[in-house]
Amino acid sequence: MLRILKILLVIAVATWGLLGAFGNFHDWQGTKGAVAATLSMTTFEGGSDDWRATASPALVLAGALAIPSLKLVTALLCLAGAWRMWAVRGRDPATFDAAKTLALAGCGVAVLMLFAGWIVIAETWFELWRSEAMREAALDAALRYGAFIGIIALFVGAREP
């Protein structure tokens, strides 16, 4: 039963990645807009005057592409990992543990993107924490998703008895 639950949780992370990437690509202007607002620091008073603020189209594009691309990588790794886990669900614990590698890598990519992208770069470097408009929409969501995916990775990664 626990093995099935682990597989379903990995599929849930993959689903998050697929739906998130679809949403980012479907609302491409919104995705670029959120990245541009973060990098330009225009969503809070005095931010755009800061030396770190930038309106570089190349950086905006790079950030906007990174978000859905890393979500897709997360989804693909988690789906491949879930497939492998499903294929060996009835085998010995060591074999099942070995099958988790891709799923855990997918969770790791998601946590890295959420933590490095939104917490380290957006919140810390570009001081997004000062933005009333973006704090809940971006930072709270990144923390919530990252925390859940991290907890899922810990649960899935736990050694089989």
Mean per-residue pLDDT for 82-100? Answer: 97
| pLDDT band for position 136 (cuts 50, 70, 90) | confident
pLDDT recorded at residue 24: 97
91-128 core/surface letters (b: 16 or more CB in 10 A; e: else): eeeeebeebbebbbbbbbbbbebbbebbbeebbeebbb
Give the per-residue pLDDT at 138.
87
Average pLDDT of every residue of the chain: 95
| pLDDT higher than 90, residue 108 | yes
Neighbours of 38 (CB within 10 A): 27
Q: Tell me what the mean pLDDT of segment 140-159 comes to.
A: 96
- State the pLDDT confidence band at 161, using cuts at 50, 70 and 90: confident
Helix (H, G, I), strand (E, B) or coil at 101: helix
- 82-90: average pLDDT: 97
Over residues 129-153, mean pLDDT: 93
Spatial contact of 13 and 74, defined as CB atoms under 8 Å apart: yes
Q: pLDDT digits over 37-63, tens only?
A: 999 999 999 989 999 999 999 999 999
Q: At residue 16, does pLDDT exceed 90?
A: yes
- 119 confidence band (pLDDT: 50, 70, 90): very high
Residue 6 has pLDDT above 90, yes or no: yes
pTM equals 0.93
pLDDT category of residue 12 using cuts at 50, 70 and 90: very high
